């Protein structure tokens, strides 16, 4: 699939990307849907699960909502409806790459929008939020298909000690390499340290090492000084050896207006 090809191309081009300070690429305003473009740009997931030894507390289950809309629909308005419903329900949503869905589910749903629920949310919470946001007079007729899934995500905190965390944060953002590799991430400037927080598709060991190397290179330190710890404290996380790759019959999305 094209997702695997895109990830392979990113790794092959890494030395060239590392050699120059380029701005983050812009996402073209064209079909396919925006979520699929984000998935291609920020995912290391292809037909199969990537090689991941960074699991346990670094990997978590998260509930995500996926929505495919009719072409005439205002995507920003639907996103606002979900955000407001989440706030009212005390279940805030956050953007996440569509590539957290397994390839079969992603191909079946072709989502225009994918959001993640908080770590303690359940599938039932997801359907309840979907109902409140999109079926009660707020865009239900705009939804072509929808899905609520429990997915595996990397939940990571990259930490580097530095005397100039604000300047380092700007340098990393300006270069754009982490945007290419991770998609969505958050910089948190602390006292003499910079944290880069990421929750999204599983990263292969090779790509994770490249991310650490890119952070270290901007700070002019050794890669080993960039630590990787769980973003979410507590809990045992997920041993990937105990979790089978989803079977094909799990990939069918639900059409809108069905009761759950």
The CATH number of the domain where 174 resides is what?
3.30.70.120
Residue with tokens 């790759």: 245
Is 49 among the domain residues? no
The answer to whether residue 204 sits within a structural domain is: yes
Domain count, the chain: 1
Handedness of CA 148, 114, 155, 128 (dihedral sign): negative
* Mean confidence (pLDDT) of the chain: 79
**Does some domain include residue 181?**
yes
Dihedral, CA atoms, 6, 9, 14, 20, nearest 10 degrees? -90
How far is Cα 196 from Cα 188, in angstroms, rounded to an integer? 6
Residue 109 covered by a domain: no
The per-residue DSSP string of 75-89 comes to HHHHHHHHHHHHHHT
Taking only the tens of pLDDT, the chain with its 260 residues reads 334 433 433 433 343 333 333 333 333 333 334 333 333 434 444 446 788 999 999 999 999 999 998 887 788 888 888 899 899 989 999 999 999 998 888 999 999 999 999 999 999 999 999 888 876 555 557 788 899 999 999 999 999 999 999 999 999 999 888 988 898 899 999 999 999 999 999 999 999 999 999 999 999 999 999 999 999 888 889 999 898 876 654 445 666 544 44
- Is position 216 within any domain? yes
Q: Quick check: is 139 in a domain?
A: no
- pTM score, two decimals? 0.75
Per the DSSP assignment, residues forming a β-bridge with 68 are 145
User: Domain containing 177: what range?
Assistant: 154-230
Residue 226 in any domain: the answer is yes
């Amino acid at each position: 699939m094209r997702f695997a090809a895109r990830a392979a191309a990113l790794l092959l081009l890494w030395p060239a990307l590392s050699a120059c300070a380029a701005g983050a690429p812009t996402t073209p305003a064209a079909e396919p849907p925006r979520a699929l473009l984000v998935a291609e740009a920020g995912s290391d997931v292809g037909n199969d699960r990537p090689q991941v030894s960074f699991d346990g507390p670094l990997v978590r289950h998260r509930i995500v909502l996926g929505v495919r809309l009719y072409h005439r629909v205002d995507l920003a308005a639907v996103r606002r409806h979900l955000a407001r419903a989440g706030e009212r329900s005390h279940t805030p949503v956050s953007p996440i790459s569509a590539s957290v869905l397994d390839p079969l589910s992603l191909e079946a749903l072709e989502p225009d929008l994918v959001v993640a629920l908080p770590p303690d949310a359940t599938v039932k919470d997801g359907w309840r939020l979907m109902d409140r946001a999109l079926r009660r007079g707020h865009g239900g007729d705009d939804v072509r298909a929808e899905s609520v899934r429990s997915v595996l995500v990397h939940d990571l905190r990259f930490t580097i000690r530095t005397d100039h965390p604000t300047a380092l944060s700007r340098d990393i953002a300006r270069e754009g390499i982490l945007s290419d590799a991770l998609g969505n991430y958050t910089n948190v400037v602390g006292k003499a340290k910079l944290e880069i927080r990421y929750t999204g598709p599983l990263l292969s060991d090779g790509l994770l090492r490249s991310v650490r190397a890119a952070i270290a290179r901007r700070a002019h330190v050794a890669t080993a000084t960039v630590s990787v710890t769980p973003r979410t404290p507590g809990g045992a996380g997920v041993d990937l050896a105990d979790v089978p790759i989803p079977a094909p019959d799990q990939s069918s999305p639900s059409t809108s207006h069905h009761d759950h």
